[in-house]
Amino acid sequence: MATKSIADWVTSLSYSSLPPEAIQAATRSFYNWAGCTVGGSNHPAATIAQKALSRFFGAPTSSLLGSQGTQVDAQHAAILNGIASHVHDYDDTHLETIIHPTGPVASALLSFAESLDRPVSGAEFITALVAGIEVECKCGLAVWPSHYDVGWHITSTTGSIGAAVAVSKLLNLTSEQTAHAIGIAATQVTGLREMFGSHTKSFHPGRAAQNGLMAAVLASEGYTSSLEALEAKRGWVNVVESHDQLDDMVASFGKENCWEIVKNSFKPFPCGIVVHPIIDGCISLHSELRQRGISYEQIEDVQVTVHHLVLELTGKTKPRDGLEAKFSVYHGGAVGLLFGKATPAQYEDAVVNEPNVLKVRAKLHATGDSSIRPDECHIVLKLREREVLEKHVDHAVGSVKSPMTDDQLTEKFLDQCISVVGLEKAKKASEWCWNLDTRNDIRDIKDIL
């Protein structure tokens, strides 16, 4: 009954039933997503896809964020915004599952909302966004961690389902139609981890957005699927990794302290989240060295102790370009030490191959330790004169225990948007997005971003 129970929960969800912290989390999630999407819109993964798919574009109803007015059909807007939102690996993270939840859901939802011939209020939009993200993350919890371990990109495999739920909610589908939409989405299992480091990684949340959008639209016209799509013997959970957490997950919907969106976190650095503690620590060490007037050339050796997943996911010692550098704990640490920051600029191909960066990168060595949490790390830096500096990061900035403030999110948003749309437009967009909950019509975004 899991699928039907979830569909019932989704159809009964209302804005007034959302706890304030879920509304706040949804606003922050949308805000961060919008900035990342604009910031990623001119990356080759987004522009190549736009060029390649342009021959198929339908009637323009939905905005490509950051394009200053370009509209395409809602399906292609969902894919292309979804790609852009994830391409810098700068989007949000539900840490318990390492799902990037907003990309698939918001990309589908905004694109579809814009295509409607009626106003969509901020409150309605937030309700659908929360519904989608809750279902996405609970499905992720039901199969975590074996689903990810075996090789699925959990962001998109669950993202298709979350996107279907969000669009179903916006379409006011019945519970049965919503269950069919979940089924049509669940059968499209998109995303292998093998693609990490290539354009296809960011294709995953884009395609997931479009999978879910299509599923909801088909279900709205009576297309049928299974009403037990998630829990059946050969349904989603059992096929994508056999687990028995589905019922627990279903029982937790809407319960106090069980809102997944509230656990959503935002990245201060545009790379795999497991690298963040190391960057955080290296930025602190950069400041210390700088204050004391010590050049990076004095660094002899840097030993970093990390959670074992850090090496598994980001063990690339010699990244060749910006995309690969996102999966290199060594690059993350090196730019932290060298520049005292890690923004998209430090992940440009030219920087990844800069001689100084290569020099510092080669001095970093990482060791896995099972007693270290994923948001923790310990760094021991040796200088040539045998002096040793140590830095322990307990909870990396951006983690649940040390969240980015609204001001930090604003700074990140403006940094991403200014180079694409200019300062004035970026500021206006920032103000518009922060006030999502009071917007009368979300479709106004076409004049904003």
Kindly tell me which residue out of 12, 56, 290, 387 binds its own copies, with binding defined by CB under 8 A: 56
Lookup: tokens for 205: 């949340």
User: Stretches 49-57, 161-169, 269-277, 353-361: which one binds its own copies (CB under 8 A)?
Assistant: 49-57
Site string for its own copies, 236-265 (x = CB under 8 A): x-xx--------------------------
Buried b (16+ CB within 10 A) or exposed e, 293-321: ebebeebeebbbbbbebbeebbebeebee
* Angle value at C-alpha 418, between 416 and 424, nearest 5 degrees: 140
- Which residue number, 190 or 346, has a Cβ lying nearer to its own copies? 190
Q: Which residues pair with 315 in a beta bridge?
A: 328
Residues 96-125 that bind its own copies (CB under 8 A): 115
Site string for its own copies, 209-228 (x = CB under 8 A): -----x--xx-xxxxxxx-x
313 lies in the binding site for its own copies (CB under 8 A): no
User: Stretches 165-173, 191-199, 244-252, 333-341: which one binds its own copies (CB under 8 A)?
Assistant: 191-199
DSSP secondary-structure letter at 446?
G
Q: Which residues pair with 365 in a beta bridge?
A: 303
Site string for its own copies, 9-48 (x = CB under 8 A): -----------------------------------xx--x
# residues near its own copies by CB under 8 A: 58
User: CB 58 → its own copies: shortest distance, Å?
Assistant: 5
Lookup: tokens for 371: 């007693």
Cα distances (Å, whole numbers) of residue 435 to 13, 122, 189, 264, 377: 21, 9, 34, 19, 36
- Which residue number, 45 or 120, has a Cβ lying nearer to its own copies? 45
Do the bridges between strand 299-306 and strand 364-368 make them parallel or antiparallel, or are there none, so unpaired?
Answer: parallel
User: CB 290 → its own copies: shortest distance, Å?
Assistant: 38
Report the interhelical angle of 154-170 vs 200-220 (nearest 10°). 30
| Burial bucket for residue 121 (CB in 10 Å: 0-12, 13-18, 19+) | middle
Cα distances (Å, whole numbers) of residue 220 to 142, 151, 268: 27, 32, 39
- Which residue number, 78 or 334, has a Cβ lying nearer to its own copies? 78
55 lies in the binding site for its own copies (CB under 8 A): yes
Kindly tell me which residue out of 69, 119, 151, 315 binds its own copies, with binding defined by CB under 8 A: 151
- Which residue number, 234 or 386, has a Cβ lying nearer to its own copies? 234
- Which residue number, 201 or 267, has a Cβ lying nearer to its own copies? 201
Considering only CA atoms, which of 61, 88, 89 is closest in space to residue 74? 61
Residue ranges in contact with its own copies by CB under 8 A? 44-45, 48-49, 51-53, 55-59, 73-75, 115, 150-153, 183-184, 186-195, 197-200, 203-204, 207, 214, 217-218, 220-226, 228-229, 232-236, 238-239
